[in-house]
Amino acid sequence: MAVELAFLRKVPLFAELEDTELAEIASHFRERSYPKNSVIFLEDETGDYMYVVREGRVKVVRQLPSGKEAILAFHDAGEYFGEMSLLDGGTTPASVIAVAPTTILSLSRRDFRNLLGNAAVNEALLRMLCQRCREAWSQVEILTLHHAEARIRSLVHQLCQGKGTEDEGGVRINSRMTHRELADMAGITRESASRAVSRLQKLGLLRVEEGLLRVPDPAALLDFSFED
């Protein structure tokens, strides 16, 4: 099945390519569908492809020494992953698993590296790598917080920055997050996450609209005076 140029144009990495360049890249993508809970790749494998989520959703996870699973991120349609191993030649830093029936587009190492001669692609790639670094530091900060509500506040603030769209009503997080998913990312129980979300809703700091989280004032989430 041919990859629509209109879809690739929405992927930040390819947004500034000329139509002819985009059409050339589109011809090199390979498409594959994964049932829910299928593994796209495992932690510490050799990375040979960059991936774009065409439909569905995946989670990025690492196995902790305790055997528990730490969720680092979710990627939705139009988002990409796997580029890090193609840049430095290292193994994949985490596993990626489909959390819903998912269609993935893959681009080989050779075709990906051919893109690096394009200044617009390099700039978009640098922006994304900086964002991933910021998210990684935020994740570390979240896990140092002792109060469950503080972790949820910090996590939702991070999601506002990474997956949010700002409008007159605040920031809408463009990724459907269940209480279980919030809990797993924050390293707390689902019950604790549900209590924290309920409290934030009562305080007017968080709303749920058509299954998506909306934050009227992201900065207010970082007021941890409730812990005093």
Q: What is the mean pLDDT of residues 133-152?
A: 89
With 70 as the cut, is the pLDDT of residue 227 above it?
Answer: no
Nearest to 138 by CA among 122, 162, 120, 118: 162
Closest CA to 13 of 89, 125, 111: 125
pLDDT at position 224 over 90: no
Distance of CA 72 to the CA centre of its chain: 8
Higher pLDDT, 220 or 117: 220
Per-residue pLDDT reduced to its tens digit, 58-113: 999 988 887 778 889 999 999 999 998 998 888 888 999 999 999 999 999 999 99
Average pLDDT over residues 145-153: 94
pLDDT value of residue 2: 63
Taking residues 21-36, what's their average pLDDT? 93
Helix axes 148-163, 190-202, angle to 10 degrees: 70
Rounded distance between C-alpha atoms, residue 148 and residue 104, angstroms: 34
Strands of the sheet with 49-55, listed across from one edge = 30-34, 102-108, 49-55, 80-81
Q: What's the CA gap between 75 and 205, in Å, rounded?
A: 25
Residue 135 scores a pLDDT above 70:
yes
Q: How would you write the chain as a 3-class SS string?
A: CCCCHHHHHCCHHHCCCCHHHHHHHHCCCEEEEECCCCEEECCCCECCEEEEEEECEEEEEEECCCCCEEEEEEEECCCEECHHHHHHCCECCCEEEECCCEEEEEEEHHHHHHHCCCHHHHHHHHHHHHHHHHHHHHHHHHHHCCCHHHHHHHHHHHHHHHHEEEECCEEEECCCCCHHHHHHHHCCCHHHHHHHHHHHHHCCCCEEECCEEEECCHHHHHCCHHHC
pLDDT band of residue 136 (cuts 50, 70, 90) is: confident
Instruction: Give the pLDDT confidence score for residue 226 in this predicted structure.
Output: 61
* Overall average pLDDT of the 18-28 stretch: 90
| Residue with the larger pLDDT of the pair 117 and 51 | 51
Domains of the chain, each with CATH number or no CATH:
5-130 (2.60.120.10), 145-227 (1.10.10.10)
Higher-confidence position of 46 and 199: 199
Instruction: Specify the pLDDT at position 225.
Output: 74
Q: What is the mean pLDDT of the chain?
A: 91
**pLDDT above 60 (res 114):** yes
pTM of the prediction? 0.84
1 has pLDDT over 60? no
Q: In angstroms, what CA-CA distances link 96 with 40, 49, 124, 167?
A: 5, 13, 22, 31
> Token pair of 135, please?
């998210």
Residue 39: per-residue pLDDT:
96
